[in-house]
């Protein structure tokens, strides 16, 4: 049963973003992100030295330039779209329930931070918190890291809140429908791919190390579940709609096939058109706007200058996605 609006809050938690696209802020953000053992599982003493003397001095300036290439007037795309999602869900909950439910955009790394927001909510009289990771597919570096952060706050709190956390929702019907609608909108603008003639659609998910997959992380299986549901909704085959993985970091083996290797191969094979959607990213961000729409697009067109590369927008504030997210939140609040 739903508690009174003033006593309940919902945190929509995404990965995070630097405050500005400057090397200083990007370095601060990357330090927090790459210091999480759920993200880089190396001995802290060894890794911290490498991080501070090798990774950050070189990676932060390059990453800052990439962020500047995709930055919006309102700020970071990830922050802008996550805030819009929170606003849209709050409006829908109020319409459905007849009372306000506080919905807060939250970041695992950067601001607004999970722990500081929980402290604010407690001080303002909130008693019950629903934590909704904006990752439809569970993985250790994402959802488990959010769980860790909530637990760290709880461990040092005297006045405990009541917590509920959504684990994953890889085949949530409204989520799959929103992905399909995004694809159909792209096809209205660019024409439908000629799959019979060999055009391809890629569903590009963020990768994880192979070691995590072998250790039992359910991520790859949940990505495949999402992909199969999207294929079924759009009437596509496995050969027409491929699963690939992006954003590899570090020297260890990661899940394959890599998106960038796949677009290079398809381009060199003369495939006329490649559509790329990123179902694991519910808001456009550096990994979609720069990595896919600039780097991967450039790689494909370098291999096939006459080809067509179409990136599907992420769900962002699409009404169908906001409806689906609200359905998920409401169902959990009613438990």
What pLDDT digit, counting tens, does each position of 2-53 carry? 555 668 999 999 999 999 999 999 999 999 999 988 998 887 778 888 889 8
pLDDT confidence of residue 47: 85
Whether 131 and 242 map to the same domain: the answer is no
pLDDT digits (tens, 9 = 90+) for 200-253: 999 999 999 999 999 999 999 999 999 999 999 999 999 999 999 999 988 899
Unique residue bearing structure tokens 């684990």: 167
Separation between Cα atoms, residue 108 and residue 325, nearest integer Å: 19
Confidence of residue 316 (pLDDT cuts 50, 70, 90): very high
Separation between Cα atoms, residue 141 and residue 152, nearest integer Å: 16
> DSSP letters along 76-127, please?
-HHHHHHHHHHHHHHHHHHHHHSS--EEEEEEEESSSBHHHHHHHHHHTT--
Whether 17 and 97 map to the same domain: the answer is yes
Asked whether residue 115 carries a pLDDT value surpassing 90, the answer given is yes
pLDDT digits (tens, 9 = 90+) for 243-296: 999 999 888 999 999 999 999 999 999 999 999 999 999 999 999 999 999 999
Separation between Cα atoms, residue 313 and residue 284, nearest integer Å: 7
Whether 159 and 246 map to the same domain: the answer is no
Is the separation of the CB atoms in 236 and 311 below 8 Å?
Answer: no
Q: How many domains does the chain have?
A: 2
pLDDT confidence of residue 174: 98
Whether 147 and 21 map to the same domain: the answer is yes
Q: DSSP character for 160?
A: P
Greater confidence, 7 or 139? Answer: 139
Give the residue numbers spanning the domain of 125.
5-169+319-333
pLDDT confidence of residue 66: 97
**From the CB of residue 57, how many other CB atoms can be counted at a distance below 10 Å?**
12
Phi/psi at 192 (5° precision)? -75, 135
pLDDT confidence of residue 45: 77
pLDDT confidence of residue 263: 98
Whether 17 and 163 map to the same domain: the answer is yes
Return the percentage of the chain with pLDDT > 70, whole number: 98
Q: DSSP character for 2?
A: P
Whether 306 and 323 map to the same domain: the answer is no
pLDDT confidence of residue 4: 52
Whether 119 and 259 map to the same domain: the answer is no
pLDDT confidence of residue 6: 65
Proportion of the chain in helix, strand, coil states, percent, rounded to 5: 50, 15, 30
CATH assignment of the domain containing 196? 3.40.50.1400
Asked whether residue 1 carries a pLDDT value surpassing 80, the answer given is no
Whether 218 and 82 map to the same domain: the answer is no
Q: DSSP character for 19?
A: S
- Average confidence (pLDDT) over 323-331: 97
pLDDT confidence of residue 5: 61
**From the CB of residue 84, how many other CB atoms can be counted at a distance below 10 Å?**
16
Indicate the average pLDDT of the chain. Answer: 95
Whether 250 and 282 map to the same domain: the answer is yes
Whether 306 and 329 map to the same domain: the answer is no
Of 259, 271, 247, residue with least CA distance to 204: 259
> DSSP letters along 202-255, please?
EEEEE--BHHHHHHT--HHHHHHHHHHHHHHHHT--TTTEEEEEE---SSS-B-
Separation between Cα atoms, residue 319 and residue 294, nearest integer Å: 27
Whether 157 and 273 map to the same domain: the answer is no
Is the separation of the CB atoms in 253 and 289 below 8 Å?
Answer: no
Whether 181 and 146 map to the same domain: the answer is no
């Amino acid at each position: 049963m739903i508690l009174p609006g003033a006593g309940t809050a919902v945190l929509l938690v995404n990965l995070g973003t630097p405050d500005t696209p400057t090397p200083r802020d990007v370095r601060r953000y990357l330090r927090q992100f790459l210091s999480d053992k759920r993200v880089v599982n190396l001995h802290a003493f060894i890794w911290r030295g490498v991080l501070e003397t090798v990774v950050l001095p070189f990676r932060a300036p390059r990453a800052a330039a990439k962020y500047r290439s995709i930055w919006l007037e309102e700020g970071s795309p990830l922050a802008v779209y996550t805030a819009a999602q929170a606003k849209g869900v709050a409006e829908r909950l109020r319409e459905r329930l007849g009372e306000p439910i506080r919905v807060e955009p939250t970041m695992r790394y950067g601001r607004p931070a999970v722990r500081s927001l929980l402290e604010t909510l407690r001080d303002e009289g909130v008693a019950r918190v629903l934590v909704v990771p904006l990752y439809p597919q569970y993985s250790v570096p994402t959802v488990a890291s959010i769980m860790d952060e909530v637990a760290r706050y709880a461990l040092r709190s005297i006045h405990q809140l009541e917590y509920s956390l959504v684990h994953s929702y890889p085949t949530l019907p409204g989520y799959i429908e929103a992905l399909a609608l995004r694809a159909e909108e792209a096809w209205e603008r660019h024409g439908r791919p000629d799959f019979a003639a060999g055009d391809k659609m890629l569903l590009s998910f963020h990768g994880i190390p192979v070691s995590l997959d072998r250790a039992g992380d359910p991520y790859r299986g949940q990505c495949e579940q999402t992909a199969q549901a999207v294929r079924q909704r759009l009437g596509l085959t496995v050969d027409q709609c491929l699963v690939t993985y992006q954003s590899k970091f570090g020297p260890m083996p990661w899940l394959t096939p890599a998106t960038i290797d796949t677009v290079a191969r398809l381009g060199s094979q003369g495939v006329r058109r490649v559509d790329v959607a990123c179902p694991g990213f519910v808001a456009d961000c550096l990994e979609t706007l720069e990595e896919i729409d600039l780097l991967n697009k450039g790689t494909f067109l370098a291999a096939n200058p006459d080809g067509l590369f179409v990136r599907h927008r992420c769900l962002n504030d699409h009404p169908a996605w906001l409806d689906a997210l609200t359905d998920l939140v409401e169902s959990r609040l009613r438990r």
